[in-house]
């Protein structure tokens, strides 16, 4: 059975391609264009084609610019308009790489799609697809893959799951490959200059404008430049002179208000999750569950209370914690690193979960 390998031109995807080719697998290289290529991207594509020829692997380049805009960029902008802070990389993996691209790979005769992610996929004891943390603690990327459905995971392949990043780099260097893409890939790859505020303004004419900065009692302290320019827990850049440091506590999109307060008011007891995708039925989750609400965050212990619909839940921290940022991904793990499920963090008051939860 043919394995399609998504190749970006970077170290990780090229090593995944080499490893699978070396295992005598029938391999097809797929390079997806998510943005209209500029000069550097076109030169990189040319070098990538040469590498694939040298490896004896067919390279197919597919144009997914429209799909990427509709499934990643536009939801990214809409999320910011709502006052959220989205995670486009996780959406891209679920909707584009293991959505559109996987479907295209299957039309080309591939039975699975491999990527250079540092995560482990395998079957559990019940022969169900399971996703686990990668073995390199400093690089593992299961968080970005946590929104995948079981049917997608069953056709996913991650050859680097048990590798360390440094070993991967050294292996590619020893092989003599000249890696065409330089540096690490960026999470927001479609904002080439890194100016996401300018990008949002170019993409959307109805972004929230300036509004009041208030404290938790509603007292006006100043004016913000637009809710999309702030995130929960942010301290710097508020432009307020105060007797003690202030942090962003909440973004009230309906009132266009930014709520700030001292650090002692920052702690949260719980958060809600929408669009929940389960890789293991919630009834089988262990008693001890950990959650990660950003990529670099240390996992925190939580109690979870799923909605009967199976698409929402409330998570209650074992100990008060900084607020989970609406729009970000909440990935739930077992103590030994298995991804149990994930969803999008919901802003307080967006919608009732439809279930009765205990008081935190």
From the list 52, 92, 157, 353, the catalytic residue is 92
User: 189: number of CA atoms within 13 Å, CB side?
Assistant: 21
Which tokens sit at 206? Answer: 């109805």
From the list 89, 122, 157, 189, the catalytic residue is 189
CA dist 169 → 11, 55, 133, 172, 234 (Å): 7, 18, 20, 5, 35
Which residues, in sequence order, are bridge partners of residue 252? 257
Q: Is 92 a catalytic residue?
A: yes
Q: Classify strands 257-261 and 268-278 as parallel, antiparallel or unpaired.
A: unpaired
Q: Quick one: DSSP state of residue 210?
A: -
- Assess contact for 268 and 322: CB atoms under 8 A: yes
What's the rounded Cα separation, in Å, for the pair 131 and 146? 8
Which residues, in sequence order, are bridge partners of residue 303? 316
What's the rounded Cα separation, in Å, for the pair 212 and 259? 9
What's the rounded Cα separation, in Å, for the pair 329 and 292? 8
User: What is the crossing angle of helices 196-203 and 74-81, to 10°?
Assistant: 100
Which residues, in sequence order, are bridge partners of residue 289? 302
Q: 80, 112, 346: which is closest to 208 by C-alpha?
A: 80
Query: Annotated catalytic sites, by residue?
Result: 92, 189
């Amino acid at each position: 059975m043919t394995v399609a390998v998504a190749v970006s031109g970077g170290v990780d995807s090229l090593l995944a391609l080499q490893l699978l080719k070396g295992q005598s697998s029938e391999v097809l290289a797929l390079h997806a264009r998510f943005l209209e290529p500029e000069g550097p991207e076109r030169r990189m594509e040319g070098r990538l084609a040469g590498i694939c020829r040298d490896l004896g692997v067919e390279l197919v380049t597919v144009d997914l610019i429209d799909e990427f805009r509709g499934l990643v960029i536009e939801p990214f902008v809409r999320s910011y308009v709502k006052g959220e802070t989205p995670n486009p990389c996780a959406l891209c993996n679920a909707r584009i790489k293991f959505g559109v691209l996987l479907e295209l790979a299957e039309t080309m005769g591939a039975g699975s799609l491999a990527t250079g992610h540092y995560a482990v996929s395998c079957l559990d004891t019940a022969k169900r697809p399971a996703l686990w943390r990668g073995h390199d603690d400093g690089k593992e990327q299961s968080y970005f893959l946590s929104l995948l459905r079981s049917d997608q995971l069953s056709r996913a392949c991650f050859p680097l799951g048990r590798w360390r990043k440094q070993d991967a780099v050294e292996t590619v260097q020893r092989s003599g490959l000249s890696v065409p893409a330089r540096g690490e890939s960026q999470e927001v790859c479609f904002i080439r200059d890194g100016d996401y505020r300018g990008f949002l303004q170019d993409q959307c004419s109805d972004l929230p404008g300036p509004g009041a900065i208030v404290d938790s009692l509603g007292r006006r302290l100043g004016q913000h430049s637009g809710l999309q320019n702030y995130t929960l827990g942010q301290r710097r850049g508020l432009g307020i002179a105060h007797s003690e440091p202030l942090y962003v506590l909440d973004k009230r999109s309906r009132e266009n208000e930014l709520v700030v307060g001292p650090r002692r008011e920052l702690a949260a007891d719980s958060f809600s999750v929408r669009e929940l995708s389960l890789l293991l039925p919630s009834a089988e989750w262990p008693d001890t569950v950990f959650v990660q609400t950003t990529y670099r965050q240390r996992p925190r212990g939580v109690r979870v209370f799923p909605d009967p619909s199976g698409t929402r839940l409330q998570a209650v921290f074992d100990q008060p914690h900084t607020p989970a940022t609406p729009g970000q991904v909440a990935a739930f793990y077992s103590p030994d690193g298995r991804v149990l499920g994930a969803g999008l963090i919901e802003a307080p008051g967006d919608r009732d979960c439809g279930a009765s939860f205990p008081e935190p």
